[in-house]
Amino acid sequence: MGTSTVTVTPVTGATGADVAGVDLTRPLSNAQWDSIHQAFLDHQVLRFRGQHVSPAQHLEFARRFGPVQRYPYGNGLPDFPDVLEFSRNPGDARNFGGLWHSDTTYLPEPPMATMLVARELPPVGGDTLFANMYLAHETLSDGMQAMLADMKAVFSATKRYMEEDRVAVHSGNALKKADEGVTTEAVHPVVRTHPETGRKALYVNRGHTVRFDGWTAAESEGLLNFLFGHAERPEFQCRMNWEDGTLIVWDNRCLQHFAVDDYPGRRRVMQRVTIAGDAPA
């Protein structure tokens, strides 16, 4: 049982923190877990260096956050179906997740968190960007906040780029097509209230949001593009690099992320566990 003191160091003024003083290959004490959970709520995305966790230890840590949820398009590892491995291989046209999004928001209950472990990295590059959607909401005008407050939007798994991401470009991944019995569309609030912090967060994302509920796609396009661009402003972001043994966990309820594809011709392999969430409200 770990007894050391957890230290939390912010990565930028907007979001993200490095967490040290824990060994995730060993059970956490309740005090360590309480510190990590509070840091997760305060900083939204946490990076742990030097954690050479096995898939079983990866799952054990994920389950401290809550029950795990499988990626609907993926087949997990043979012995650990809840652990999705995805890779970008030298011949692939592009990477997985190279667009601003929050994970699987086309599901009625999208995962509250995602926990990623680096298994193989390119010599340089392959960072992940995160953007804080509390800040995105807080920095909108009172008038815009009032207009968005009661609006809903349609989220789809079949938005072109993300669809191609899954079915076309990943030579190494066993990903399914959209028509293979997967829920592909959901309606969620444009602004959601975080169930643990009570803070409001902008929830539309470029990867999955196709239109406002009750509006046509053409009517929605202008305002959605404004909100996507606003959400992606650099002052809401942090950039996380990966090293051998880095584990990162992020809160999908109040963040978007973007996997940077700056390592063509190289290989990057990650293992991912998603933690079940609630219906956004």
Q: Site residues (CB under 6 A) for ligand SIN?
A: 96-97, 103, 114, 128, 257, 259, 270, 272
- Asked about 188 being catalytic, the answer comes back as no
Work out how close the CB of 107 gets to ligand SIN at its nearest, in angstroms, rounded to a whole number: 14
Work out how close the CB of 271 gets to ligand SIN at its nearest, in angstroms, rounded to a whole number: 10
- Asked about 257 being catalytic, the answer comes back as yes
Catalytic residue (one of 43, 58, 92, 103) = 103
Q: Give the tokens for residue 135.
A: 């800040």
Nearest to 26 by CA among 8, 52, 45: 52
Those residues with Cβ within 8 angstroms of residue 143's Cβ, 6 or more apart along the chain or in another chain = none
Q: What does the alpha-carbon distance between residue 48 and residue 276 come to, in Å, rounded to a whole number?
A: 21
Count other Cβ atoms within 10 Å, centred on residue 30.
8
Closer residue to ligand SIN in complex, CB, 175/259 = 259
Work out how close the CB of 197 gets to ligand SIN at its nearest, in angstroms, rounded to a whole number: 22
Closer residue to ligand SIN in complex, CB, 92/103 = 103
**Closest residue by beta carbon to ligand SIN:** 97
Rg (alpha carbons) of the chain, rounded to whole number:
18
Q: What is the dihedral of CA 162, 13, 197, 157, to 10 degrees?
A: 0
Work out how close the CB of 277 gets to ligand SIN at its nearest, in angstroms, rounded to a whole number: 15
Catalytic residue (one of 101, 166, 170, 253) = 101
Q: Indicate which residues carry an active-site annotation.
A: 101, 103, 257, 272
